[in-house]
Amino acid sequence: MKLFGAAAAHLPRLVTQLTDSLHAACMVLAKLQKPLIVLVNGPAAGAGLGLSMLGDIVIAARSAHFTVGYGALGLTPDAGTTWLLPRLVGIRMAQDMVIRNRRVTSQEAVDAGLVTSLVEDHQLPESGSKMAAQLAESATAAIGASRALLLQSSVTGLEAQMSTEARAIALAAAGWESREGIAAFLGKRKPVFLRPLWFEK
């Protein structure tokens, strides 16, 4: 805030520079070809709220809370907040959070779909580590492609989305993960999604 206060008449240019950098970082996270876990251990406000919503799995400590925050500064949201928030919690709750700047508790966040799960504060690091280990053993290439499909789905019609899904599943079928997954299913065993060195595709 001190930086904003010192900017004076140059504030619009400063805000543009900061927002451009923030939005570039947000798109890198949104387009990752791997699952993204977010741990929230305190207040998630402003850009912090936007960044938290980019996660595929969002685990919050019980003491965490969520606030849009911009209205109190006479500013409008960034970091994808106006796109992500209504899709996660619905338009009415998004309006309440943005227009009234209402703080949402961690329990409300779970109930509304803003957060995947809630843990006690001291359990947060261990919960995040366990989730990361679980996802690391998953079919990460398929998850990456699925993330892209989900991101695209909000701006694509049903028929176009199904065409994209058809291309994506065909590409996935050519990969190691599908071979291992199908073999494991048929063999009634747990799949091991570690790409062997000899597999080149």
Host H or E run for residue 117 = strand 117-119
Residue segments in the chain with a per-residue pLDDT below the cut of 70 = 1-10, 195-201
Residue-wise pLDDT tens digits, 14-24: 888 999 999 99
Are domains 2-136 and 140-187 of this chain identical in fold?
no
Instruction: Give residue for tokens 């290439």.
Output: 141
φ/ψ (deg, to 5) at 150: -65, -40
- Interhelix angle 140-153/124-136, nearest 10 degrees: 100
DSSP result, the chain: -HHHHHHGGGHHHHHHHHHHHHHHHHHHHHT-SS--EEEE-SEEETHHHHHHHT-SEEEEETT-EEE--GGGGT----TTHHHHHHHHH-HHHHHHHHHS---EEHHHHHHHTS-SEEE-GGGHHHHHHHHHHHHHTS-HHHHHHHHHHHHHHTTS-HHHHHHHHHHHHHHHHTSHHHHHHHHHHHHTS-------TT---
Q: What is the pLDDT of residue 196?
A: 52
Strand 57-61, strand 117-119: pairing: parallel
Q: What is the pLDDT of residue 7?
A: 60
Q: What is the pLDDT of residue 63?
A: 97
Using alpha carbons, select from 54, 45, 18 the residue that is nearest to residue 104: 45
Domain positions in the chain are 2-136, 140-187
Both structure tokens of 82:
């106006």
Say if residues 7 and 14 touch (Cβ distance below 8 Å).
yes
Both structure tokens of 88:
């996660």
Q: What is the pLDDT of residue 73?
A: 81
Distance (Å) of CA 37 to CA 84, 129, 159: 16, 10, 30
Using alpha carbons, select from 30, 65, 57 the residue that is nearest to residue 152: 30
Residue-wise pLDDT tens digits, 108-121: 999 999 999 999 99
CATH architecture group of domain 2-136: Alpha-Beta Complex (3.90)
The correct CATH number of 140-187 out of 2.30.30, 1.10.150, 1.10.12, 1.20.1510 is 1.10.12
